[in-house]
Amino acid sequence: MAYKKSKETRDRLIAVARDLFYEQGFKKTSVRQICKEVNINHSLIYYYFKNGKYGIGQFLINDHMRRCIRAISKYFPYRDNYLLYNLLLIRFIFREISQDPIDLECYIATWEEEQIHRPFLIETYSITKELKLNVNYTDVKTAVLMSDYVWRGLYEAKHNGNLDLTDKKIRDLTDITRWTNLGLDKESLMKEIENAERLLETIPIQHIHLIKP
């Protein structure tokens, strides 16, 4: 009975937060607002999500990624080229979230929380092993963090009007930062990026929303 109530409270927190994020944006939504709607003490949210609303944001991001992986597998299941699959998946995910500015805001704001685990860290490490790149786990973590800050900063600059960049250019610069710092030849990387872009053009937009109820 206690477990059921605990799960109901957690599910309610997610549902209420999603509605508030959609109505007023991620940044403008406070923990107190969420807890008031759920009718619990504001400190209790940290029992379910240790990073508060950022934890909920991370839950939504992970769920969104899982749905994107399921969707893309119908068109391009992972075979023997993990790098190509990864480049395609990332472009697919960001094409989906670019359909709604609210989704992109949640992604960017959630990344600002330093304790949030970076997606694709393990995947990137696995790819370096497949490509036989001479790097260790710390090298990979450093490159992933660097590329995270690149895409986040460029998207913010774009939406603030400070830079005129296409989403493709931002994604390419992010991947160049990550993979060239891990020792991958830029020319080889750009060929794989071009392959990923061509594959993406064959996949229809799926309208997989992060925030929209």
Residue type, 130: E
* Residue 41: strand, helix, or coil: coil
pTM over cut 0.85: yes
d(CA 120, CA 123): 5
Question: Helix, strand or coil for residue 59?
Answer: helix
Q: What angle do CA 127, 87, 134 make, to 5 degrees?
A: 25
What's the confidence (pLDDT) of residue 116? 56
Region 2-201: CATH code: 1.10.357.10
- Separation of alpha carbons 50 and 131, rounded Å: 36
From first to last of its 213 residues, the chain has per-residue pLDDT tens of: 454 568 899 999 999 999 999 999 999 999 999 999 999 998 999 999 988 999 999 999 999 999 999 999 999 887 779 999 999 999 999 999 988 988 988 888 887 675 555 667 889 999 999 999 999 999 999 999 899 889 888 988 988 899 999 999 999 999 999 999 999 999 999 999 999 999 999 999 999 999 987
Q: How many CA atoms lie within 13 A of 70 on its CB side?
A: 7
Phi-psi region of 29 (alpha: psi -120 to 50; beta: other; left: phi over 0): beta
- What is the C-alpha to C-alpha distance for residues 31 and 132, in angstroms, rounded to an integer? 45
Q: Which residue in the block uniquely carries the two structure tokens 């997989």?
A: 208
Q: What is the pLDDT of residue 114?
A: 53
Give the separation between CA 106 and CA 60, rounded to whole angstroms.
9
What DSSP character marks residue 202? T
Every domain of the chain and the residues it spans: 2-201
Question: CB-based contacts of 149: which residues, under 8 Å, 6+ apart?
Answer: none
Q: Per this entry, what is the length of the chain? A: 213
pLDDT at residue number 207: 95
Q: What is the pLDDT of residue 41?
A: 92
Residue 47 identity (one-letter amino acid): Y
- b/e code 154-182 from CB counts within 10 Å (16+ = b): bbeebeeeeeeeebeebbbebbbbbbebb
